[in-house]
Amino acid sequence: MTAVHSGRRLRVDLPPRPLTLDDVAELAAADESGHRYELVDGTLLVVPPADFDHAETITRLTVWFVTNGYGTHQVLATPGIQITERTSGRVPDLIILRRRRDGRTVWADPADVALVVEVVSPGSERVDREAKPGEYARAGITQFWRIERGDNAEATVHQFRLGNDLRGEPTYLGHRAVLLEDLLASKPPELL
């Protein structure tokens, strides 16, 4: 795969085969625009950079976790998570890792991820509320937090734990909602 920069545009010559997570990592490394790339069942998704409110929310959560004892090697903003072995990977807004990873790793193994945080943005509501939680649950990630930002309202953090539905399929259960400001005024839960 080759990426060619032409001014502000990025032109990509895709291989004549299904894309892999390695291809997506190569594409992301060549893109200087700040886009994030995800791969869902071999389909490439391009995600625009986050708006400032979104980015500030993630920064505040990162600082909160780190100042309360989590290591900077555990609290990572916009890392890649391998959802399936080669054809699916997501780039959540924030993760908490169980252990240090090789710094050159692009796609974290979901078994190493204790928490995934997604901030819902305009245009990604269905994906953030429906698609991603199901993918993270099937990958075995034990905790999922979804942050909803309302118009002129405080952000609400919806916290879920991994469980099983009536068919025995992995899903997120145990919903707890807390205002972001209240969450940040408390200590983080023990996730590891």
- Report the number of distinct structural domains present in the chain: 1
Q: What is the pLDDT of residues 108-133, one digit of tens each?
A: 999 999 999 999 988 889 999 999 99
Could you tell me the residue range of the domain that residue 116 belongs to? Answer: 50-184
Is residue 123 a part of any domain in this protein?
A: yes
Is residue 12 a part of any domain in this protein?
A: no
Is residue 94 a part of any domain in this protein?
A: yes
Q: CATH number of the domain that 151 lies in?
A: 3.90.1570.10
CA 90, 139, 70, 177 torsion-angle sign: positive
Looking at residue 126, its amino acid is R
Burial class (CB in 10 A: 0-12, 13-18, 19+), 185: exposed
Global confidence as pTM = 0.85
Is residue 13 a part of any domain in this protein?
A: no
Q: What is the pLDDT of residues 150-191, one digit of tens each?
A: 776 789 999 999 999 999 999 999 899 999 999 999 999 988
Burial class (CB in 10 A: 0-12, 13-18, 19+), 53: exposed
- Residue 85 three-state SS: coil
CA 131, 152, 156, 71 torsion-angle sign: positive
Is residue 19 a part of any domain in this protein?
A: no
Residue 1 confidence class, pLDDT cut points 50, 70, 90: low
